Structure 1
């Protein structure tokens, strides 16, 4: 019997371009959101954020700083967030992203329908110190 706790670790990137616009994807499950995905075995969390952004958008990024963690306790999911900037690549959709674009912060927050995604962006943009947010709902 396996009694060891199991957590899902997600890496996400709030990518801001030189116009201070946010990179968003529109996927089939959750609508508009930031690029994110599960960290693979043997992969660093920051590398996962870079990889997921490339896979979902076609855009290469550089991590600027670690922002913080949102932990969904009941679901055993830890979402790690990074602030990044684009360094190259071209938009390329995937099965996880039917649309891709850069949007002003206000427009991006209006497009996103999941409250948790809005909070993640706001925390990354508005806080200079790393944060840790726990929730159960």
Structure 2
């Protein structure tokens, strides 16, 4: 996996040349901790997820990516929000510069065992309090804040 650099509200960010539909899962355990992975490419803690492939729904994508990245099987239980902020740009080492396009679902574990994938260095359930002191990208913090706010309406932005 190549390196990536996230830009957020940065006037020096490169101009996007790509837009790909992606999704992620906000999965909470019985203690209220959130399933997070520490990304191997950036070192940041993030929600599991990835890019949709031809022939699958976005929900299927999020279930597949969560299994691949964490070892856990989940079911989708709701929609946290739609995140398409053009001020969030991700630059990859291969020259791709992607504008954010992420649908974040709520989910719950239905099977599997936690395991680390080639994309991450650590996977575990993390309390919201502990996450305050860990490296987390501002856009992921926004998603966590929307979860914490407890609105029944999905975030649209």
TM tier, smaller:
0.7 to 0.9
What TM-score, normalized to structure 1?
Answer: 0.85
Does residue 68 of structure 1 match 2:81? Answer: yes
Out of 24, 29, 41, the residue aligned to residue 17 of structure 1 is 29
1:59 aligns with 72
Q: Which has the higher helix share?
A: 1
Output aligned runs, 1:23-38, within 5 Å. 23-30=35-42, 31-38=44-51
Counterparts of 2:128 and 2:110, CA distance in 1: 20
Residue 60 of structure 2 aligns to a residue whose secondary structure is: helix
Does residue 79 of structure 1 match 2:91? Answer: no
Counterparts of 1:104 and 1:80, CA distance in 2: 22
Counterparts of 1:46 and 1:93, CA distance in 2: 22
Out of 82, 100, 104, the residue aligned to residue 127 of structure 2 is 104
Computed over aligned residues only, the root mean square deviation of the Cα atoms, in angstroms, reads: 1.8
> How many aligned residue pairs are there?
129
Structure 2 gap ranges (5+):
1-16, 88-97
Counterparts of 1:12 and 1:112, CA distance in 2: 18
Contact 1:22 1:108 (8 Å CA) reproduced = no
